[in-house]
């Protein structure tokens, strides 16, 4: 039994997360997002992203997300105005709490709340138990209120502006960064007060003064025991006049580490999750980019069917007066002498596959290609233009190039071809070229229908991704895009 405990001890890592604080930060850090049903999801997305990272990086043996139970806490009995003056939680955020709990359930992560107590208190209590059992603990929060819980085995991580950016505080770092020891943090806050929680503190005492006083006297009590030794008339005056406030503030900021919680560390055992459940939820909330991080079962690709017209003679009716997505398929990298396998045209009138001979022999098609009216959207203008030039056609009227835009958005996405772009944006509508044509020596052109559908599907993803790529490349307010 002893051996087992020793084993467990060395592997046990407990993660405690302040749900309210992190969700709050995520909400303000990310742009407003909502899913198809209109449910807002940005805070949940940010939180989930961070949570997945923690599960991947830290591989905890135990994990808990603590939430505030309601507006009233035991602290309000001490001070009615506690947290007064705070703005009401925006409904776009409050509607995300139940969603977050749903996701936590699917991920197998326990969450807990206790009436009259704050998330801080729950975390403080569990971490105290962990400390007594010498278990390594990581606490995550969006603000510094939990720093007082740091200790030899307990590290507190505070998220920065971008939720996944986390500053980790161990006792040494706290001493370095704040100038006081962990035991002094409570007294520090008691003196300074806290505007956001509406804790009075002592007026005229800011961080600097408070640090100085604590370095001089050690504790709040000691300051008052030796009040005559305090230098500065105004300072002494304020301290004396607001002694009650100071001690009340101390009470308010002290985290209750003996809260009557009904859970124990053993209850927080982390056993992983059922991938299917998680993926279902991710789909529901539109978290496509997170799906790839869920280990486990292979997601069977469900695709929409695609019906297209196999063109035998190109008609000008096919051309839309709105955007036309034009795809030229050529396997060879060297487009100076590659074979064109076919074209596809996708627009609000339909989906068209145009065989190469039909296209290149059609005067109408050629006229459209050379028309300066800016309504063609392509992937890789240069490739298309050069290939057509070698065939005596002078391409004009290209309005947007998806490949170039993808490069502007992020040059390090290693591939800027349509299937890769589609994958980046969470679309499954088109396969990679390798899957359709094979690789290297085994490469060959598949039969007509498979080929035609693949080329049309490229047009489909071009159409689907355009709005997002367009928006993203503009968001950067980059002038590089006009080159």
Partner 1 sequence: MPLSLILADMEYLGVQVDVDRLEEMQQDLSKRLDKIEEEIYELAGQSFNINSPKQLGKILFEELELPVIKKTKTGYSTSADVLEKLQHEHEIVDKILHYRQLGKLQSTYIEGLLKVVHDDTHKIHTRFNQVLTQTGRLSSTDPNLQNIPIRLEEGRKIRQAFVPSKDDYVIMAADYSQIELRVLAHIANDEKLTSAFKEGKDIHTQTAMDVFNVKEDEVDSLMRRHAKAVNFGIVYGISDYGLSQSLGISRKEAGQFIEKYLESYPGVKQYMDDVVKQAKHDGYVETIMKRRRYLPDISSRNFNKRSFAERTAMNTPIQGSAADIIKKAMIDVMDQLNDSDVNAQLLLQVHDELIFEVAKGDIDQLNKLVKNAMEQTVELNVPLLVEADYGNTWYDAK
86 vs 476 by CB, closer to partner 1: 476
What 3-state DSSP class applies to 5?
helix
DSSP 299: P
Element (H, E) at 17: strand 13-18
CB of 348 to partner 1, least distance (A): 23
Q: Is residue 223 a contact partner of residue 213, using CB atoms and an 8 Å limit?
A: yes
With respect to partner 1, which residue has the nearer C-beta, 162 or 272? 162
Q: What are phi and psi of 294, to 5 degrees?
A: -90, 115
Collapsing DSSP to helix, strand or coil, 198 comes out as: coil
Q: Is the separation of the CB atoms in 379 and 387 below 8 Å? A: no
Nearest CB to partner 1, comparing residues 169 and 335: 335
Contact 27, 96 (CB under 8 A): yes
User: What torsion do the CA atoms of 379, 383, 386, 389 make, to the nearest 10 degrees?
Assistant: -50
Residue 349 or 420 with smaller CB distance to partner 1: 420
In 3D, which of 99, 105, 104, 101 has the Cα closest to residue 39?
Answer: 99
Q: How far is the CB of 379 from partner 1 (least distance, A)?
A: 11
Q: What is the dihedral of CA 339, 345, 346, 349, to 10 degrees?
A: -160
- Closest contact distance (angstroms) between CB of 479 and partner 1 is 4
CB of 440 to partner 1, least distance (A): 18
Q: Which is nearer to partner 1, 208 or 476 (CB)?
A: 476
Give me the DSSP letters along 323-346. -EEEEEE---S-TTSPPP-EEEEE
Taking the complex as a whole, how short is the minimal distance between the CB of residue 480 and partner 1, in angstroms?
4
- Comparing CB distances to partner 1, the nearer of 7 and 390 is 390
Of 382, 380, 422, 384, the C-alpha closest to 402 is 380
- Minimum Å gap between C-beta 161 and partner 1 is 8
Q: Least Å distance between CB 417 and partner 1? A: 10
Residue 340 C-beta: closest distance to partner 1, Å: 16
Alpha carbons within 13 angstroms on the beta-carbon side of residue 398 total 18
Q: How far is the CB of 156 from partner 1 (least distance, A)?
A: 18
CB of 66 to partner 1, least distance (A): 27
Q: Which is nearer to partner 1, 314 or 400 (CB)?
A: 400
Q: Applying CB under 8 A, which residues contact partner 1?
A: 162, 165, 333-336, 381-382, 385-386, 389-390, 398, 400-401, 403-404, 406-408, 410-412, 416, 476-483
Pick 305 or 392: Cβ nearer partner 1: 392
* Contact (Cβ atoms closer than 8 angstroms) between residue 426 and residue 291: yes
**Residue placing its CB nearer to partner 1 in the complex, 226 or 394:** 394
C-beta of 107 vs 158, nearer to partner 1: 158
Cα angle 110-115-121, degrees, rounded to a multiple of 5: 70
How many CB atoms are located within 10 Å of the residue 304 CB?
8
23 in Cβ contact with 93 (< 8 Å): yes
């Amino acid at each position: 039994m002893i051996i087992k405990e020793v084993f467990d001890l060395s592997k046990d890592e407990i993660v405690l997360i302040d749900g309210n604080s992190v969700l709050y930060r995520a909400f303000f850090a990310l742009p407003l997002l909502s899913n198809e049903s209109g449910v807002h999801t940005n805070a949940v997305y940010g939180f989930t992203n961070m949570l997945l990272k923690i599960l991947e990086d830290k591989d905890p043996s135990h994990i808990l997300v603590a939430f505030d139970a309601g507006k009233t806490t035991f602290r309000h009995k001490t001070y009615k105005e506690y947290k007064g003056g705070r703005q009401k939680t925006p409904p776009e955020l409050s509607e995300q709490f139940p969603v977050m709990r749903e996701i936590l359930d699917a991920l197998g992560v326990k969450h807990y709340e206790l009436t009259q107590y704050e998330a801080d208190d729950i975390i403080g209590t569990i971490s105290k138990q962990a400390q007594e059992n010498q278990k390594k603990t990581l606490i995550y929060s969006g603000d510094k209120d939990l720093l007082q819980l740091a200790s030899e085995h307990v590290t507190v991580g505070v998220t920065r502006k971008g939720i996944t950016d986390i500053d980790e505080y161990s006792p040494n770092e706290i001493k370095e960064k704040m100038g006081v020891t962990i035991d002094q943090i409570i007294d520090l806050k008691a003196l300074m007060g806290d505007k956001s929680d509406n804790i009075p503190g002592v007026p005229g005492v800011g961080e600097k003064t408070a640090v100085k006083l604590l370095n001089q006297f050690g504790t709040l009590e000691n300051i008052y025991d030796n009040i005559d030794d305090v230098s500065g008339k105004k300072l002494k005056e304020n301290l004396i006049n607001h002694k009650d406030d100071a001690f009340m503030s101390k009470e308010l900021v002290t985290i209750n580490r003996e809260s009557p919680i009904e859970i124990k560390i053993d209850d927080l055992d982390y056993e992983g999750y059922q991938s299917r459940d998680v993926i279902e939820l991710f789909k529901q909330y539109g978290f496509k980019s997170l799906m790839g991080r869920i280990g486990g079962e292979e997601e069977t690709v469900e695709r929409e069917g695609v019906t297209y017209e196999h063109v035998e003679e190109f008609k000008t009716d096919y051309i839309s007066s709105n955007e036309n997505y034009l795809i030229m398929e050529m396997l060879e990298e060297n487009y100076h002498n590659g074979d064109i396998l076919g074209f596809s045209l996708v627009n609000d009138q339909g989906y068209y596959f145009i065989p190469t001979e039909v296209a290149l022999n059609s005067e109408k098609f050629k006229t459209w290609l050379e028309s300066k009216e800016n309504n063609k959207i392509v992937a890789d203008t240069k490739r298309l233009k050069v290939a057509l030039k070698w065939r005596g056609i002078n391409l004009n009227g290209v309005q947007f190039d998806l490949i170039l835009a993808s490069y502007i958005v992020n040059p390090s996405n290693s591939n800027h071809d349509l299937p890769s772009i589609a994958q980046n944006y969470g679309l499954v509508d088109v396969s990679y070229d390798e899957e359709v044509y094979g690789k290297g020596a085994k490469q060959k052109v598949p039969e007509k229908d498979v080929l035609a559908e693949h080329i049309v599907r490229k047009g489909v993803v071009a159409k689907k991704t355009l709005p997002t790529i367009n928006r993203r490349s503009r968001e950067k307010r980059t002038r590089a895009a006009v080159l």
